[in-house]
Amino acid sequence: MKQKLLVFLMIVISFTLLAACSNEGSSGEGDGEVTLKVLHNWNGSGGGAPEDPVNNPVAEKIREETGVTLDIEYTNGSEVDKLTQVLATGEFPDVYIGPAWGKEAELLLEAANDGLLHDLTPYIEEHERLAEVLKEENMSVSLYNDIISQQQGGQFILHSMFPATEDDIVDWLYGLYVNKDIADEVGIDPNSVQTPDDLYNFLKAVKEGGFETNGNEVFPLGAYDNGWPLDITSEMFVPVAGAGSWFIDEEGNARYNFMTEEYEEWVLFMRKLMHEGLLDPEVFSHTGTIAREKISQGRYAVMPNQFNGMWNDTKQGGLEENYVPLGPMEDFNGDRYRTEFNVQGSQLIAIFADASEEKLEAFVKLFDYLSSDEGYMLAKFGVEGEHYDLEDGEVVAKEEAVEKINDGTLKDEGIDTAFLTLTGLDRESSLGGGPFGHQVNKQYQAKQEFMEIFRQDGVNAATGLDPYAVLKNHPNFAQIEPVTTVMGDVVQQAIHSSTDEEALSIINETREALRNAGIEEVAAEITEQAKSGTEFMRYRTSN
Amino acid sequence: MNNVEMDKDLYTDNYSVQNKKSLWLRIWQHRLYYLFMLPGIIWFVVFAYIPMYGLTVAFKDFSFVGGITGSEWSGLKYFKEFFNFYQAWDIIRNTLIISLMKLVIGFPMPIILALLLNEVKVLKFKKTVQTISYLPHFISWIVVVTILQRMLTPYGGPINEIIASLGFSKIQFLGNLDYFYQIIILSDIWKAAGFGAIIYLAAISGVDQQLYESAKMDGANRFRQVWHITLPAIRPVMVIMFLLACGGIMTVGYEQLLLLNTPATASIGTVLDVHVIQSGLEQGRISYATAVGLFQSIIGVILIIIANSISKKVNETSLW
């Protein structure tokens, strides 16, 4: 008996091991209804998913109109990692939704040109709304030049969430935010802080104040995991934030930010803040959860953030009304209010070639429906009469919906979730009159107040070609790219140095590697093009 | 061909047939034991041998559509790319330093723990300690690192609170060059020593008890008994474990380093395993990452061969 049991056990273990080699079954189809497996490739987007992704009012209405149910997988971790895994293993979903920038977009283009995606050309010709999202004027210059126009032998990638009108441009309101009670205590008006020196003095005053919250020390300055988005403070030194951006002066001379003295000054400024205990020493090493915990507890006197992130995370500790704009800070040229956004849509959408014709057609039907005004309204504001009423053409949230907004359960209705990423042009203001419930929402009112502080000169669109396109198409790119991938780590390493000399030595080693890889030749090429009339994007406000 | 030669050939053939038959016969006779090996064999075939064909990617320009077999050959391009990368030698140096430290400091720990446990006479206490010591093996690195972060943080972490209550200033342990190696080595020992001790305890339990009796009669104390009986008895196991550890010198465990290394410690904490993960998954450079991984493995094999032949000559214990 014992022997038989052992034999049985061994066989079970063996089969379990072999089962690891089998494929998962594909999602079912039948009764005229189609289930599409979707990869929603946005890190952490699962947090905004409805509790019941299949049976919520928006999903049910979509199913009723199109016969399509979405089985959505959300990414938790790096988007590039996830897409690389999908492409390398061949474990394709039916539909891909992901960021319209960065390495993710480049990988998707590679997949398109390798024949891994369905060619949507016949459907684009047939459906006006599909064609609309691919018009050159409905995407950023970089997206058109680097991705959409680089597709070979067809149109494989759709684009979504580009603002339909100027009113629809979303201002994320990136900037420094300060706990106004602490500013009051140290006796410094937040609006008087304008330069790096002012910021340093302010943070120093906070440090000397020895503030505590619930028995924990308050850090003068902090940010999220991996230091995000501390690098927006580099806009005080260079026209476009980030080590990998380009600094093109008025004469058209181009320099790679990382190679410039101005960017070096920012690194040394941050190093000074770190070394003197003005910046949370764990800012580049703590996890997102711990960072949000610190923010919700009010343990940062000042933090770089975008408005919604700041509001939602401080709200967890009931502190959302304590934080106000610090500054605005002067840019590299001493201007406090110049705001130029790179107007762009956020989503790239594709359907993998492995998906059946039936699924392809179901997807087209779904996208066509969701990108209609009716579909957009459904995904953005829910069901008319149930979640909102239309008054003078403007969406007015019903009382129950407002309650759900306040207690954070609106997502469970399927409103403003992943469905929205398939709705084509963003029409929040032009179609709905503004964010859902804005008439009664404190968050929206606070944002309007802060916009008056940050955007006194209004907002303009950044124009011109992103110089990155020249770098990417340069013969030296293959040698330069591996160095650029470690540049972010090098900057963080320099910020942690104990002396300026040590920081410079770390930066200079990588600068030397960039020089050896041929970065100066690329700079010369951009300079030549800029001087001979190519319009490059020379200024960009983080958004 | 003369008769003698013919007889010899016949004899050899018959012998080999008999031998072959007897092997299969013996396998059949002991089929139950062979069945126990089956899951292990399947594991190795499925997860170790079949994936080996993927190593060809190191010599190809991997494309998603071509996959492993259909991509174009590119020779040693990615190996050259790695050795030309300006941080390559720093990464190799970091890997070797951490690995050697783990080997020198970490390797004896399970042996010491096993020897100490063997000396414990209260069985309940011994079993409790043993269980507690090997439990960390089953905790994933992400949990270990989160615990470490919570324990060691200067902002409300218990360790620093104790330090502060004793009148000393708080210490930023994580993300600090001065404490990086200590944390890496100690956390590794904490996680691995208990589980590693099991194999030595098993070896110790096989030592003939009469040897201890004789030693006692000769007046040997506990320490002498350990030194002259236990250690020599488990030496073959120690040597085998050491040889296997030598093979892993170029790999230090990507999870631990990926999680514990921070920008502040990157100059000494960036190792090959992390570089492979970052270049392969984060940057999508599959061929390059495979080339670096293959380089690690080749060095590992060479080290095992060298260590094995030295061991064979010096103390007559070897893997093959």
Nearest residue in A to B282, CA atom? A81
| Whether A425 and A383 share a structural domain | yes
CA distance A88 to chain B (A): 6
| Whether A355 and A396 share a structural domain | yes
Check CB contact under 8 Å for B86 and A513: yes
For the stretch A243-274, pLDDT in tens is 999 999 999 999 999 999 999 999 999 999 99
Check CB contact under 8 Å for A84 and B280: yes
Measured distance CA(B84)–CA(B105) in Å, rounded: 33
User: Is the pLDDT assigned to residue B4 strictly greater than 50?
Assistant: no
- Is residue A12 one of the residues assigned to a domain? no
User: Is the pLDDT assigned to residue A25 strictly greater than 50?
Assistant: no
| Whether A249 and A280 share a structural domain | yes
- Give me the pLDDT at residue A299, please: 95
- Is residue A471 one of the residues assigned to a domain? yes
Give percent helix, percent strand, percent coil of chain A, each to the nearest 5.
50, 15, 35
| Whether A143 and A227 share a structural domain | no
CA distance A216 to chain B (A): 7
| Residues of chain B contacting residue A495, judged by C-beta atoms under 8 Å apart | 263
User: Is the pLDDT assigned to residue A29 strictly greater than 70?
Assistant: no
Binned at pLDDT 50, 70 and 90, residue A31 comes out as: low
| Whether A317 and A178 share a structural domain | yes
Which candidate from A116, A282, A493 shows the least CB-CB separation from B65? A116
CATH match of B76-140+189-315 with 3.50.50.60: no
User: Is the pLDDT assigned to residue A32 strictly greater than 90?
Assistant: no
Q: What percent of chain A has pLDDT over 90?
A: 74
Q: What is the mean pLDDT of residues A510-535?
A: 96
| Whether A467 and A328 share a structural domain | yes
| Whether A315 and A427 share a structural domain | no
- Is residue A444 one of the residues assigned to a domain? no
- Is residue A454 one of the residues assigned to a domain? no
User: Is the pLDDT assigned to residue A70 strictly greater than 90?
Assistant: yes
Check CB contact under 8 Å for A78 and B282: yes
What mean pLDDT, rounded, does chain A reach? 91
- Is residue A187 one of the residues assigned to a domain? yes
| Residues of chain A contacting residue B42, judged by C-beta atoms under 8 Å apart | 14, 17-18
| Whether A187 and A267 share a structural domain | yes
> What CATH number should be reported for the domain holding residue A501?
3.40.190.10
| Whether A478 and A542 share a structural domain | yes
| Residues of chain B contacting residue A17, judged by C-beta atoms under 8 Å apart | 39, 42-43, 46
CA distance B188 to chain A (A): 20
Which candidate from A7, A84, A286 shows the least CB-CB separation from B284? A84
Q: What is the ipTM of this complex?
A: 0.75
For the stretch A350-390, pLDDT in tens is 999 999 999 999 999 999 999 999 999 999 999 999 999 99
How many folded domains does chain A comprise?
A: 2
- Is residue A316 one of the residues assigned to a domain? yes
User: Is the pLDDT assigned to residue B154 strictly greater than 60?
Assistant: yes
| Residues of chain B contacting residue A352, judged by C-beta atoms under 8 Å apart | none
Q: What is the mean pLDDT of residues B120-144?
A: 92
| Whether A224 and A206 share a structural domain | yes
Nearest CA to A57 out of A412, A436, A331, A340 is that of A412
- Give me the pLDDT at residue A287, please: 80
Check CB contact under 8 Å for A285 and B280: no
Interface test with B, best of A2, A17, A109, A510 (most B CBs within 10 A): A17
Nearest residue in A to B44, CA atom? A17
Question: Is the Cβ of A19 closer than 8 Å to some Cβ of chain B?
Answer: no
Question: Is the Cβ of A492 closer than 8 Å to some Cβ of chain B?
Answer: yes
User: Is the pLDDT assigned to residue A399 strictly greater than 70?
Assistant: yes
- Give me the pLDDT at residue A76, please: 82
DSSP 3-state of A303: strand
| Whether A124 and A140 share a structural domain | yes
CB-count exposure of residue A56 (10 Å: 0-12, 13-18, 19+):
buried
Q: Where are the domains of chain B?
A: 1-59, 76-140+189-315
Domain span at residue A137 reads 30-169+344-436
- Of A386, A419, A436, which closes a domain? A436
Check CB contact under 8 Å for B286 and A88: yes
For the stretch A465-494, pLDDT in tens is 889 989 989 999 989 998 998 899 899 999
SS3 letters across A308-359: HHHHHHHHCCCCCCCEEEECCCCCCCCCCCCCEECCCCCEEEEEECCCCHHH
- Is residue A509 one of the residues assigned to a domain? yes
| Whether A157 and A256 share a structural domain | no
- Give me the pLDDT at residue B170, please: 86
| Residues of chain B contacting residue A492, judged by C-beta atoms under 8 Å apart | 263-264, 266
User: Is the pLDDT assigned to residue B10 strictly greater than 80?
Assistant: no
Check CB contact under 8 Å for A17 and B281: no
User: Is the pLDDT assigned to residue A431 strictly greater than 90?
Assistant: yes
- Is residue A501 one of the residues assigned to a domain? yes
Of residues A176 and A281, the one with the higher pLDDT is A176
CA distance B69 to chain A (A): 12
